[in-house]
Structure 1
Amino acid sequence: MAGGPGGAGDDDPGGVHGAGPRGPQALRPRGARLPPGRPPGGGGGGRHPPPPRPGDLRRRRAHAGVYEPPEGGGHGDGHPQAHPPPRGAPGSAKSTLVYHIKRALEAYSRTPEGAIYRIQGYPIHESPLRAIPDAARPELAARGIVVDQHLCPYCRKRLEEEWGGDIRGIPVERFYISEAEGAGVGVFAAGEPNTQDASQLIGAPSLLGLQRYGAESDPRAWSWDGALLKGNRGVVELVEMLKAKPELLHYLLTTAQERQVPVDRIGMVDVDLVLLAHTNYAEYGRFLSEKRNEAIRDRTRVIEWPYVMRLRDEERVYRKMLGAPGAHLAPWTLTVAAGIAVLSRLQERKDDFPPLSSLKLYNTRYGANGYPENADDPLIARESTLQDYEAMRSRYPMDGKDGLSPRLVVDWISAAAVDRPCVTPVDLTRTALATYREGQAPLKRADLEALIKLFWTEYDAYVERVVQRAFATSFEAEAENLWRLYLEHAAAVLRNKKVRHPVTGEWVEPDTNLLRRLESAAGIPEAAARGFRQEVLALVGALREAGEAVPWDADPRMKKAIEQTLLQERAKVLRTTVSAYTPDEEQEETLRRVKAYLQEKEGYCPHCADWLLSYYAAKVRRGEA
């Protein structure tokens, strides 16, 4: 799998997006193979499209075993091609990926390019091209139409008895892949061993058919409703495949290797399908340890499908799973939840990539130049490069293969929302600790507490920033003024000129103290100050030349410096106001404006705006802010 920032890679998850040497043709029914450019016809159907990229899922990689019949002519010659979607940890969206593959296949079968045809009235959607006699096939092959499979026993019986052996009498109809109608999509879910039966895969004799035709060996007496038969001309999903009994795995192995399903008392039935299997890490580990599984193991490929490791993508997963929650979620509630979950999925660290640094590396998106793109996100590694990310991935390849499941985290959020108008980060973490039981995830309660404490430092830093912004009611105007002053005085220093005093109008020396105060806040040492000033002025000149505005936040480093400078100036007033047990009239008015700002600009509701200020006041009184 190709790796990429924040997950297991942007590249094609080999085998899901056109795996193997045949590329997207992996999902094409192959009763007949047509040459490139030839329109679909008969039962050959055209190519099915590769499934859509799974968006917020693409960072998850799971193990999957998918068995596909060999493409080459004959039954079983050549090597079966494995096209795997997912095997992975619980909640890593394995089933969701397969769901989207099936929906893409259904949609494509309804397009002109995806037309598929079958013999009318036959339950396993038999391709009419298979009725062509062997003697006529070489002539078709010379024209580029290769037919290498034969009618099943049921259709042979019908051909002889209903159509007198004349293939021209066979009625043909177009059909559409549909899981709901059992057309071209079969599903086998391995449950308890005692409930598993071969009939789930290959069907069973029909009581009505037995009464009518008298023998189980008569193909007309068979039900033909097993998953491997329903999925003919399409796909068969094998849920938790490795929990299946060994005798059932035999049917899958035969289907993969021979492109035939062994149907009891009937014989071998040619099929044209893709087997999509997914399972969990624990089952796969047991599967590998058993020597008797060598034949199946040899016919699988593994795709890693770990949990999401980019924090912002993990938040999106929660939003999708929650839908419309019954309570308001305070800002950073999902961020805290996602941060704890991502930290739990990290392999044990050495000193080279501490957990929080690793989380920020995963959350960073890098541009073509190898530097971070999402510079405004406080939870990225701003000073990192793509090389740093790749070094971490190489050093810790097991990241994402274990940890807290999204399902468990969403359960915490849902539980915290019960009888609450709003869920805050504190509500979330208290609920998580109150409901957590050993065994729910591969970490102990003490480990969960440590992860919460570790990420809480980021939340407290956010609280400090947002409360300071809320108290700076004239922040934008003052920030713009400070930016203009910096530009004016920096240009004067570089040109050895004076600046005009705004009150007296006299020409005075530039304020180098102002310049250094801002530059220090931006992390610029005095030795590099001149170069930094030149860079900033060059940026301003380029923007003006392009006819663009030059706002105070045009340079990310100066934006940080201006914010820090202005907010520090207000810190004393802020702390006095927010921590007052009985605020006076002026302080009450200030708090009212602050709450209005939090609701209008920061996404707070009245409940969590009050809570945030109370939380911050408690920190101030304890001397923590």
Structure 2
Amino acid sequence: MSDGTETLAELSAEYQASIPEDLREPRSFEWYLETLETDPAVARAAHQRVADMFDYYGAEYDEDRGVVEYELASEDPLHDGEHTFYGRVVHEAIHEFVNKVKSGARGLGPERRILLLLGPVGSGKSAFDAQLRRYFEDYTMRDAGRMYTFRWTNLRDVIEDQDPADDTVRSPMQQDPLVLLPQAQRDTILEQVNEALDAPYTIRNEQNLDPESEFYMDELLAHYDDDLQSVLDNHVEVVRLVADENKRRALETFEPKDKKNQDETELTGDVNYSKIAVYGESDPRAFDYSGAFCNANRGIFSGEELLKLQREFLYDFLHATQEQTIKPRNNPRIDIDQVIVGRTNMPEYKDKKGDEKMEAFNDRTKRIDVPYVMAYEDEAEIYRKLLGNADVPDVHVEPHTLEMAGLFGVLTRIEEPDADTVDVLQKAKAYNGEGDALEDVDVKKLREEAQAAAAVGEGMEGVSPRFIGDEIAEAIMDSTHRGRDYLSPLTVFSFFEENLEHHGSIAEERFAEYYRYLERVREEYRERAIEDVRNALAYDVEEIQRQGEKYMDHVMAYIDDDTVEDDITGAESEPDETFLRAVEEKLDIPEDRKDDFRQEVSNWVSRRAREGEAFDPTDNERLRRALERKLWEDKKHNINFSALVSANDLDEDERTKWVDSLMDLGYSEEGAREVLEFAGAEVAKAELEDE
């Protein structure tokens, strides 16, 4: 082994250290009762354990939004952020999901419901569900999440016809050891457990033993003259239960198949035909507890595309939710304890919602909307994560590329607002939290109006992140094949335009609308590209500082109805209204709103002064942008924009200087040259139109 590479012995030691100490060490029932005295949470029900899991990995309350962000989703500490979730609406959905789990933990009703994740394709339903299962596996490996079950031992010592292969039998439903006690004695133990429990819920357990375990208990009690202690001492071992999806233990994923190849036994279990010859058909030992509900007991049942199941399969969920039991064919009812999560898309939901025969099922579901991300910078983070998790070629992603891709996606998802108040692009910017867009925009009202107007909810339709991510990937590979070492928004736009109509989930009647949105995104990128070139060609920090100080001197004089003293001559003069408006018009501030803006900036300066901070116009986003644009306006007439388009018309040293300035803003060298040419052509065209 070379230096820095772990040896097999080190890897083995690392693996052993990760395994709970008591994973393979059986304990006595007496030990379990003693453990409950010091750690009563060990006996938690499934909803209680899952609820505590979310808090265990960290949570932070966002007071402004009234939402708890759970770090297993927002940070993904187990995987170094590989599976993080982005977007306000997504974290609101997760917050709602956890609230329902926590309500179920308290016995308020959701423990008897299906938690149905409803959303469009690619909205993150499956990813969150998978994240939930990954963390539950990890949580049950830790002391904080540990749980136990039991196994029957030495059965052949008492039961004469017991198959030698079944001398030791693990609890088929991996039940909590407390179910071995009769209800009256169990309640006495639980009363003591709850007195010692530091939790917002009460631990209850009213389950019956599964039929096979009940058979063994009856046989053993008869042998020991109802001496329960002898049964527990001689024939029961308590073992650690760790959730494991691959082993179908306390975690199960169930998905629909063709009706001819699927029946309800996949949910509830079936006869074990190999045991019929040993025990007989009606013997409870001849049942195979391999149904999805059986495997998920004590943990999480995950129903993929749940509403695609045939109606007769969904009937099994009625008992599983409301009564928390399952009824296998030709067998008695079996108690279950699990968080039942379902996932579905809009078409199936609408179909089942309108089916009167599904009223009972619909009444047992708690719908949780998982819409698309609605802030384009959050959407850009999704693509950035995808690229970060992949083996991306050596291609530089230029500034604005992912953001503009995200903006296109968001525009297709939000409800068109009332054009008299705000247009769709301004709404997207307001949802993104941009200061300029928020001026005179009531974001809360926009959301409420959109929710009322949308068929199901805003963000439940539109272009999926998968489509956009696929086109970004295609654009990257195309750039690689063409020998380009950068990816720009212009390239991504081209792929959107070429492939939009090839996307199977986009209705034909939406194409024209989506092309219109794509043009709006092009226009937005044009403004941003020009802004970047403006900074590269004309940005002057000292001049912005001077102009900012001049602006504030004249604003303060205007507010105080005073005069301004010239720094050189000392002469007094009225505030320069022409200069003030030249700055404010760069932010499209109308004449009748100038006083509000001036007062706002004045208050900002006064507040900073009280905090002992010097005036710096670049610290105020809106003022900085206005001054930058005015400086550009003052200088642009001295720049030959047409020369930017042609390499032959511009001195290479000057071009290199500008390229270097753009590279300081995050561009690659070739990307900087492209944006210089693009912005130069756009500005030159605008200059000609203004003449």
* TM-score category of the 2 structures, normalised to the smaller one: 0.7 to 0.9
Instruction: Please report how far the alpha carbon of residue 247 of structure 1 lies from its aligned counterpart in structure 2 after TM superposition.
Output: 2.4
Instruction: Please report how far the alpha carbon of residue 439 of structure 1 lies from its aligned counterpart in structure 2 after TM superposition.
Output: 3.4
1:527, 1:449 → 2: CA distance?
Answer: 36
1:441, 1:454 → 2: CA distance?
Answer: 19
Which of 435, 441, 465 in structure 1 is aligned with 2:531?
Answer: 465
Instruction: Please report how far the alpha carbon of residue 520 of structure 1 lies from its aligned counterpart in structure 2 after TM superposition.
Output: 4.7
1:49 matched to 2:51: yes
Larger deviation: 511-520 or 545-554?
A: 511-520
Aligned counterparts, 1:25-424, within 5 A: 39-41=40-42, 47-49=49-51, 51=54, 52=70, 54-55=73-74, 56-60=86-90, 81-82=112-113, 84-120=115-151, 121-134=170-183, 136-137=185-186, 139-140=188-189, 146-160=204-218, 164=223, 166=228, 167-169=231-233, 170-211=236-277, 213-323=278-388, 324=390, 325-326=392-393, 327-352=395-420, 353-364=422-433, 374-375=434-435, 380-386=437-443, 388-390=445-447, 392-393=449-450, 396-397=453-454, 398-420=457-479, 421-424=485-488
Letter in 2 for 1:238: G
Residues 97-149 of structure 1 deviation map (CA, whole Å, 9 limit, x = unaligned): 22232234334334444332211323431222112124545655765675411
Letter in 2 for 1:39: P
Evaluate the alpha carbon distance shift between residue 295 and residue 477 of structure 1 in structure 2; reply closer, same or farther with a 3 A threshold. Answer: same
Instruction: Please report how far the alpha carbon of residue 471 of structure 1 lies from its aligned counterpart in structure 2 after TM superposition.
Output: 0.5
Instruction: Please report how far the alpha carbon of residue 530 of structure 1 lies from its aligned counterpart in structure 2 after TM superposition.
Output: 7.7
Instruction: Please name the residue that 2:521 is paired with.
Output: 455
Q: Partner of 1:507: helix, strand, or coil?
A: coil
2:602, 2:109 → 1: CA distance?
Answer: 67
1:236, 1:571 → 2: CA distance?
Answer: 64
Q: Partner of 1:417: helix, strand, or coil?
A: helix
Aligned counterparts, 1:537-556, within 5 A: 539-556=604-621
Please tell me whether the aligned partners of residues 489 and 499 of structure 1 are also in contact (alpha carbons under 8 angstroms).
no
Evaluate the alpha carbon distance shift between residue 345 and residue 102 of structure 1 in structure 2; reply closer, same or farther with a 3 A threshold. Answer: same
Q: Name stretches of at least 5 consecutive residues in structure 1 with no aligned partner.
A: 1-31, 365-373
Instruction: Please report how far the alpha carbon of residue 309 of structure 1 lies from its aligned counterpart in structure 2 after TM superposition.
Output: 1.2
Q: Partner of 1:174: helix, strand, or coil?
A: strand
Q: How does the TM-score come out when normalised to structure 1?
A: 0.80
Q: How does the TM-score come out when normalised to structure 2?
A: 0.73
Please tell me whether the aligned partners of residues 149 and 240 of structure 2 are also in contact (alpha carbons under 8 angstroms).
yes
Letter in 2 for 1:296: F
Letter in 2 for 1:354: D
Letter in 2 for 1:92: S
Please tell me whether the aligned partners of residues 248 and 296 of structure 2 are also in contact (alpha carbons under 8 angstroms).
yes
Instruction: Please report how far the alpha carbon of residue 400 of structure 1 lies from its aligned counterpart in structure 2 after TM superposition.
Output: 1.0
Evaluate the alpha carbon distance shift between residue 320 and residue 490 of structure 1 in structure 2; reply closer, same or farther with a 3 A threshold. Answer: closer
Instruction: Please report how far the alpha carbon of residue 407 of structure 1 lies from its aligned counterpart in structure 2 after TM superposition.
Output: 0.7
Q: Calculate percent identity across the aligned residue pairs.
A: 25
Evaluate the alpha carbon distance shift between residue 355 and residue 543 of structure 1 in structure 2; reply closer, same or farther with a 3 A threshold. Answer: closer
Evaluate the alpha carbon distance shift between residue 207 and residue 238 of structure 1 in structure 2; reply closer, same or farther with a 3 A threshold. Answer: same
Instruction: Please report how far the alpha carbon of residue 532 of structure 1 lies from its aligned counterpart in structure 2 after TM superposition.
Output: 6.3
Q: Name stretches of at least 5 consecutive residues in structure 2 with no aligned partner.
A: 1-32, 55-69, 75-85, 152-169, 195-202, 480-484
Please tell me whether the aligned partners of residues 551 and 580 of structure 2 are also in contact (alpha carbons under 8 angstroms).
yes
Letter in 2 for 1:507: G
Kindly tell me the number of residue pairs found equivalent between the two proteins. Answer: 570
1:451, 1:287 → 2: CA distance?
Answer: 33
Evaluate the alpha carbon distance shift between residue 572 and residue 215 of structure 1 in structure 2; reply closer, same or farther with a 3 A threshold. Answer: farther
Instruction: Please report how far the alpha carbon of residue 258 of structure 1 lies from its aligned counterpart in structure 2 after TM superposition.
Output: 2.1
Instruction: Please name the residue that 2:550 is paired with.
Output: 485
Letter in 2 for 1:400: G
1:447, 1:36 → 2: CA distance?
Answer: 64
Residues 75-102 of structure 1 deviation map (CA, whole Å, 9 limit, x = unaligned): xx99973252511111111112222322
Q: Partner of 2:253: helix, strand, or coil?
A: strand
Letter in 1 for 2:490: V
Instruction: Please report how far the alpha carbon of residue 184 of structure 1 lies from its aligned counterpart in structure 2 after TM superposition.
Output: 0.9
Q: Partner of 1:441: helix, strand, or coil?
A: coil
Instruction: Please report how far the alpha carbon of residue 182 of structure 1 lies from its aligned counterpart in structure 2 after TM superposition.
Output: 2.1
Residues 285-328 of structure 1 deviation map (CA, whole Å, 9 limit, x = unaligned): 11123232122112112222221111111112222233344332
Instruction: Please report how far the alpha carbon of residue 59 of structure 1 lies from its aligned counterpart in structure 2 after TM superposition.
Output: 0.8
Q: Partner of 1:468: helix, strand, or coil?
A: helix
Letter in 2 for 1:361: A
2:189, 2:627 → 1: CA distance?
Answer: 76
Evaluate the alpha carbon distance shift between residue 191 and residue 497 of structure 1 in structure 2; reply closer, same or farther with a 3 A threshold. Answer: same
Evaluate the alpha carbon distance shift between residue 337 and residue 500 of structure 1 in structure 2; reply closer, same or farther with a 3 A threshold. Answer: closer
Instruction: Please report how far the alpha carbon of residue 448 of structure 1 lies from its aligned counterpart in structure 2 after TM superposition.
Output: 2.5
Q: Partner of 2:121: helix, strand, or coil?
A: coil
Instruction: Please name the residue that 1:428 is paired with.
Output: 492
Please tell me whether the aligned partners of residues 362 and 389 of structure 1 are also in contact (alpha carbons under 8 angstroms).
no
Please tell me whether the aligned partners of residues 51 and 105 of structure 2 are also in contact (alpha carbons under 8 angstroms).
no
Please tell me whether the aligned partners of residues 89 and 280 of structure 1 are also in contact (alpha carbons under 8 angstroms).
yes
Larger deviation: 272-281 or 541-550?
A: 541-550
Please tell me whether the aligned partners of residues 212 and 285 of structure 2 are also in contact (alpha carbons under 8 angstroms).
yes
Residues 412-453 of structure 1 deviation map (CA, whole Å, 9 limit, x = unaligned): 111111131322222112112222326332354333321111
1:254, 1:487 → 2: CA distance?
Answer: 71
Residues 320-346 of structure 1 deviation map (CA, whole Å, 9 limit, x = unaligned): 233344332222121221111111113
